[in-house]
């Protein structure tokens, strides 16, 4: 590499660092905007109305009859007959609650919604800045920017935010995820720039392969989407506990009610987490297969029980058990949520624990 090219790559690395820090600043503004959205949303009466509707639907689920207004039918010759609509009884499936979704973080208030839209706009801007930082990092090293934990982390958070914005663009009701997402992205980037940062450098010989683009990119995407599913499972546990308290006739605390009554129902969150995990699981299967093929090219064997390989397989088994239990044993609710969170914890351990604490052929942490 010529001195001029080396200087250009160094400048690109500095630009990348600047862009990553700039994205953190914008994410911080988005964080405060989301806080304002939840704060002003708590002043809304919509939440209390939703709670009242919950009680009404609960009565209907228990078999209470709901009588609709009378209907006037005009016959021939101007005569009018008054007919009562038949009574309608609604029942939920056994073991489930017929509960409507909450009004969202903004609580139905105009001011809360305004801050929510500002937060989403800032999140989109931060995503673009961070993505530019990842691209600048790739240009500075002239390879895929996934050769160490720092590069993996900044790409991971970029993909997670990108997936969230895609769901919003598809008109999915996921804005309630914004505050948690931005908070964890700031945590991820803080760890990356503080403890995981590594200067731009070339890869070890084993990583010089087109499989780096295939295997590692799918691993990052799967982890980012698994994170969104895990966030849904965590919120489900809180919302389910809140609904259980209401069902038992207990009154949750004011702050707890103000936050949890605005989330989607426990059933909606449970379904959301399941669909996210089920959608990405086949790609995680492909990730492991692609890694095995790459290992055969690089090391002459497809599987060697390296710590990274073992924990990738453990993660696969955990998610397979979760999906199998949902499909065959009818597991829904808290047991399924705990299993989903255990599976994601395996993924996190495979990333942080295995890379930092264990040694093997996949020791490319760079820290």
- Rounded to an integer, what distance in angstroms lies between the CA atom of residue 324 and that of residue 304? 27
Instruction: Provide Rg for the chain, Cα atoms.
Output: 25
- Rounded to an integer, what distance in angstroms lies between the CA atom of residue 263 and that of residue 99? 11
Digitized pLDDT (tens) for each residue of the chain, 367 residues in all: 677 767 777 889 999 999 999 999 999 999 999 999 999 988 655 444 544 444 444 444 434 333 334 444 444 455 544 444 333 333 333 445 778 899 999 988 999 999 999 999 999 999 999 999 999 999 998 888 888 899 999 999 999 999 999 999 999 989 999 999 999 999 999 999 999 998 877 676 667 788 889 999 999 999 999 999 999 999 999 999 999 999 988 988 888 999 999 999 999 999 999 999 999 999 999 999 999 998 888 888 888 888 989 999 999 999 999 999 988 877 778 999 999 999 999 999 999 998 888 776 666 555 5
- Residue 31: helix, strand or coil by DSSP? helix
Token reading at 46: 């919509």
Beta carbons of 100 and 265 less than 8 angstroms apart: yes
For residue 239, with 0-12 CB atoms within 10 Å meaning exposed, 13-18 middle and 19 or more buried, which class applies?
buried
Nearby residues of 84 by Cβ (< 8 Å), 6 or more positions away? 67, 70, 71
- Rounded to an integer, what distance in angstroms lies between the CA atom of residue 231 and that of residue 341? 9
- Rounded to an integer, what distance in angstroms lies between the CA atom of residue 195 and that of residue 207? 23
- Rounded to an integer, what distance in angstroms lies between the CA atom of residue 179 and that of residue 184? 9
Residue 240 main-chain phi, psi, to 5 deg: -65, -40
- Rounded to an integer, what distance in angstroms lies between the CA atom of residue 39 and that of residue 177? 15
Among the listed residues 174, 45, 35, 171, the one whose alpha carbon sits nearest the alpha carbon of residue 108? 45
Interval 60-107: pLDDT, tens: 443 433 333 444 444 445 554 444 433 333 333 344 577 889 999 998
Residue 81 parent element (H or E):
strand 80-83
């Amino acid at each position: 590499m010529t001195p001029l090219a080396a200087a250009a790559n160094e400048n690109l690395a500095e630009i990348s660092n600047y862009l990553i820090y700039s994205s953190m600043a914008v994410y911080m503004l988005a964080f405060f905007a989301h806080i304002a959205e939840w704060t002003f949303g708590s002043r809304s009466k919509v939440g209390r109305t939703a709670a009242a509707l919950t009680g009404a639907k609960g009565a209907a689920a228990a078999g209470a009859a709901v009588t609709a207004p009378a209907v006037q039918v005009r016959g021939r010759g101007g005569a009018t007959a008054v007919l009562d609509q038949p009574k309608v009884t609604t029942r939920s499936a056994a073991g489930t609650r017929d509960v409507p979704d909450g009004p969202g973080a903004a609580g139905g208030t105009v001011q809360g919604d305004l801050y929510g839209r500002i937060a989403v706009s800032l999140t989109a801007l931060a995503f673009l800045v961070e993505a530019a930082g990842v691209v600048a990092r790739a240009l500075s090293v002239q390879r895929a920017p996934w050769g160490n934990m720092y590069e993996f982390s900044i790409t991971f958070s970029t993909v997670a935010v990108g997936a969230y914005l895609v769901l919003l663009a598809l008109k999915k009701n996921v804005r309630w995820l914004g505050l948690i997402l931005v908070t964890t992205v700031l945590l991820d980037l803080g760890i990356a720039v503080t403890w995981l940062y590594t200067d731009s450098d070339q890869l070890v010989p084993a990583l010089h392969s087109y499989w780096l683009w295939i295997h590692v990119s799918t691993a990052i995407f799967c982890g980012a989407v698994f994170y969104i599913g895990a966030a849904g499972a965590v919120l489900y546990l809180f919302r389910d506990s809140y609904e259980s308290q209401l069902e038992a006739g207990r009154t949750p605390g004011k702050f707890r009610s103000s936050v949890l009554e605005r989330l989607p129902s426990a059933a909606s969150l449970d379904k959301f987490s399941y669909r996210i995990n089920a959608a990405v699981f086949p790609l995680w299967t492909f990730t492991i297969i692609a890694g095995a093929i790459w290992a055969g090219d690089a090391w002459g064997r497809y599987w060697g029980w390296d710590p990274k390989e073992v924990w990738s397989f453990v993660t696969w088994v955990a998610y397979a058990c979760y999906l199998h239990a949902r499909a065959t044993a009818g597991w829904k609710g808290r047991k399924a949520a705990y299993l989903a969170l255990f599976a994601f914890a395996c993924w996190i351990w495979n990333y942080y624990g295995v890379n930092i604490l264990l040694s093997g052929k996949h020791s490319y942490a760079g820290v």
